Amino acid sequence: MRKPYLPPRIFQQRRQKLASLIPGAAVVLPAWPEYIRNYDGHFPYRQESNMLYLAGFDEPGSCLIFRPGLKPETVMFVRPKNIERETWDGFRYGVDGAKQEFGFDEVYSIDDFEKVAPKLLKDCQKVYYSLYRNHEFDEIFGRVLTQVKWLNPRAGLGFLPVEDAYGLLGEMRIRKSEEEIDMLRRAGSVSARAHIEVMKATKPNGSERALHGLFIKSIMEQGAQGEAYTGIFAGGNNACTLHYRFNEDKLNDGDLFLVDAGAEYMFYSGDITRTFPVNGKFTAPQRRIYQAMLDLQLKLIGMIRPGLPHGRLQEETVKGVTEIMLEEKLISGTLEDCIRERTYAKYYPHGVSHLLGLDTHDAGALLVGGKMREMEPGWCFTIEPGIYIPANDTTAPKELRGIGIRIEDDVMCTNDGAEVLTHEVPKSVGEMEAIIGQA
């Protein structure tokens, strides 16, 4: 029999914290639907992250209604037990199992949702629900709201007000608990060790796809559920495609190899990028630009502290990469003009950091009231400066064409600085050259 991935008390504590933020309101969180990959084969199922955060329940065909201060307060709807379907598709908790294992106040079959949910919501002042993210459930939710209205026909209140649950829960999820930090550390460690295995196995004429497979093998042997996102294994000019995912080419002697890949451990994401030479030795131009990018990344990590506006990282990155581009004669003009006119964006088009947690690009607002949000202890995020010079860019110096470099680590803001959660994987020139191709 399967068990909750964390003790149910952790989810109960999160719901108690949420209760203080939404008196008189309810939260409705449906599971993600299952999706067909092709014909009758499904994509591997991954639960919606807010459902995981508040309930810890990872089955499809479920929905949580949380009504602080009302009885029953925590109501879960799940797929009923069905031995025949379990023979084909695997274990289901069912109504009784979900109540026993997770400690919900009440559990119903998902088949009864439209009958029961209106009665649960009719005494609430508003409901938090994320519209337009789960289109299949939006229709069901709309019918429930209509029934709620008719359960109070003379109140003159109209439809129950709806606010977005994503922002509400993002505000909770942005500050990681000790349990979450432990899992992010583990996700970072598992990811780092798999990156090392890829480095050791990288050689000229090797395969992007084979090394992608090696990464997956390594993380799953270490207990990960799988990838946190589809890995990028990009040799040579392929690294200049930011979300390159074909992973089908051979690796060429003299090229760089960019690997952006992470493990999902207990639903929490690792996210690491390393760039290194296929043959184990940087050329002089490759080394020059790589070292400049590494120096910038280390400077950014050194800036992290409570109270620093998160957006300052991007400002410093733009300044740093623009200086590198001017030094390498990729662009021309003054530093100030190139920043103001965004000339740098030709070779650096993305942001340097995103929040990290249950989602690789995790929930939480970084801009509030038009102002940059200041970092707090317990924030976890990436630091990932990069530069990408396409092989067909005839305006770039010839020796730089086809170079794509990104260096990414996962970090946590602490009381006095930063903890690098992915420190186990090397990134200095000497450390990487010492292990590339040594498998």
User: What's the confidence (pLDDT) of residue 152?
Assistant: 79
Residues 338 and 131: their CA atoms lie apart, in Å, by 40
Question: Residues 67, 388, 409, 433: which is the catalytic one?
Answer: 388
| Mean pLDDT to the nearest integer, 46-52 | 98
pLDDT higher than 70, residue 64:
yes
Residue 405 pairs with which residues in a beta bridge?
A: 387
Residue 393 a catalytic site member: no
CA 137 to chain CA centroid, nearest Å: 23
User: What's the confidence (pLDDT) of residue 436?
Assistant: 98
What homologous superfamily is domain 178-435 in, according to CATH?
A: Creatinase/methionine aminopeptidase superfamily (3.90.230.10)
Percent of the chain with pLDDT over 70: 99
The 10s digit of each residue's pLDDT in 302-335 is: 999 999 999 999 999 999 999 999 999 999 999 9
Confidence of residue 155 (pLDDT cuts 50, 70, 90): low
Residue 89 a catalytic site member: no
List the domain boundaries for the chain: 8-173, 178-435
Asked whether 282 and 430 are in contact (CB, 8 A), the reply is no
Within 10 angstroms of residue 44's Cβ, the number of other Cβ atoms is 10
Residue 354 a catalytic site member: yes
Question: Residues 58, 180, 264, 271: which is the catalytic one?
Answer: 271
Within 10 angstroms of residue 125's Cβ, the number of other Cβ atoms is 12
pTM: 0.97
Asked whether 276 and 257 are in contact (CB, 8 A), the reply is yes
Asked whether 137 and 113 are in contact (CB, 8 A), the reply is no
Asked whether 256 and 280 are in contact (CB, 8 A), the reply is no
The 10s digit of each residue's pLDDT in 72-127 is: 999 999 999 999 999 999 999 999 999 999 999 999 999 999 999 999 999 999 99
User: What's the confidence (pLDDT) of residue 153?
Assistant: 72
Residue 136 a catalytic site member: no
Question: Residues 9, 39, 40, 132: which is the catalytic one?
Answer: 40
Residue 409 a catalytic site member: no
Residue 350 a catalytic site member: yes
| Mean pLDDT to the nearest integer, 264-284 | 98
Residue 406 a catalytic site member: yes
Question: Residues 344, 406, 409, 410: which is the catalytic one?
Answer: 406
The 10s digit of each residue's pLDDT in 331-381 is: 999 999 999 999 999 999 999 999 999 999 999 999 999 999 999 999 999
User: What's the confidence (pLDDT) of residue 1?
Assistant: 72
- Hey, what are 396's tokens? 């770039």
Question: Residues 48, 58, 208, 260: which is the catalytic one?
Answer: 260
The 10s digit of each residue's pLDDT in 383-420 is: 999 999 999 999 999 999 999 999 999 999 999 999 99
Averaged confidence pLDDT in the chain: 97
Residue 388 a catalytic site member: yes
pLDDT higher than 90, residue 158:
no
User: What's the confidence (pLDDT) of residue 310?
Assistant: 98
Residue 227 a catalytic site member: no
| Mean pLDDT to the nearest integer, 233-256 | 98
- Hey, what are 288's tokens? 């020059």
What homologous superfamily is domain 8-173 in, according to CATH?
A: Creatinase/prolidase N-terminal domain (3.40.350.10)
